[in-house]
Amino acid sequence: MRWIDVSAPAVQLRALTWGPDDGPIALCLHGFPDTAYGWRKAAPLLADAGWRVVAPFMRGYVPSSIPSDGSYHVGALMDDALRVLQAAGPTGRDVIIGHDWGAIAASGLSAMPDSPFRKAVVMSVPPAASFRPLGRVPRAGRLVAQLPAQALRSWYIMYFQLPWLPDRSASWVVPRLWRQWSPGYNATEDLRHVDAAIGAPERWRAALGYYRATVRGSRPPTQYAELHRHWLSAPVLPTLYLHGTDDGCATSAFAQWVQRVLPDGSDIALVGQAGHFLQLEQPDTVARRVLDFIGPAG
């Protein structure tokens, strides 16, 4: 495991990397409340297959910096990912892999008509296009029936919109979400990494900024606007969608609506005995599914 440092106009990013320096890149984006160390179990398996795994700490998460432009819009996350890819050295055979907020950014990058990636893997959070437009989604009644239970699972999203109170809640919110989202998983090591990354008050506010920017619908800075418009669109890259059957964050039942928006060459798989953090809970299964989809590194 090694480090890459990436300088962007508004943020300094640090990324972990595994595997050969000359391999095609598997750019792995983490989510909340997680860190790049969330790839520590699956990344070596991809590296053993010849992939160069690069996993940045998202903006605001130590050791990456708090962005000077204050933007936590999806377009900003996409821009960061592209800058990390450029710094690592694109090969034309690279893939994007995203989990949670990283999945949202990966969905946006997979929807770009000129995406530099060959394939995408999206984990635990369906592409937004799966449910748009709501009035024309097939089996809409079945989808609506899922919403009350999902609203209860997603209590934290609205809680994060409140003034001052959520900013002082990291100590109980983070362990509660890990217990709720991946029941039965021992997250002791992960919680240490998360505390180091977003335990400080200003870092916790940065992590909340992702939810506040999206729910409140604020306009991204001009430099991210073009990228930002893609995140609600359907993927154009062949995409593998993975979801844990025991996910306590978002129901795995949503996978049935993902299929309709994926292009030819895509696939969907539910991972048994895994919750939200499936790459940590079932790393062998996840890595095998990913390698079967993205193919050999050679």
pLDDT in tens, 9-39: 999 999 999 999 999 999 999 999 999 999 9
- Of 149, 110, 102, nearest in space to 129 by CA: 110
* Residues of the chain under the 50 pLDDT cut: none
Residue 135: per-residue pLDDT: 57
Nearest-angstrom CA–CA distance, 50 and 296 = 7
Residue 143: per-residue pLDDT: 84
Nearest-angstrom CA–CA distance, 151 and 145 = 11
Answer whether 197's CB lies under 8 Å from 62's CB.
Answer: yes
How many C-beta neighbours within 10 Å does residue 109 have?
A: 28
Residue 134: per-residue pLDDT: 61
Answer whether 226's CB lies under 8 Å from 76's CB.
Answer: no
Residue with the two structure tokens 């919403």: 147
Q: What is the average pLDDT score of the chain? A: 96
- Of 32, 121, 78, nearest in space to 220 by CA: 78
Q: What percentage of the chain reaches a pLDDT higher than 70?
A: 99
Residue 221: per-residue pLDDT: 97
- 14 pairs with which residues across the strands? 5
pLDDT in tens, 134-182: 657 777 778 888 889 999 999 999 999 999 999 999 999 999 999 999 9
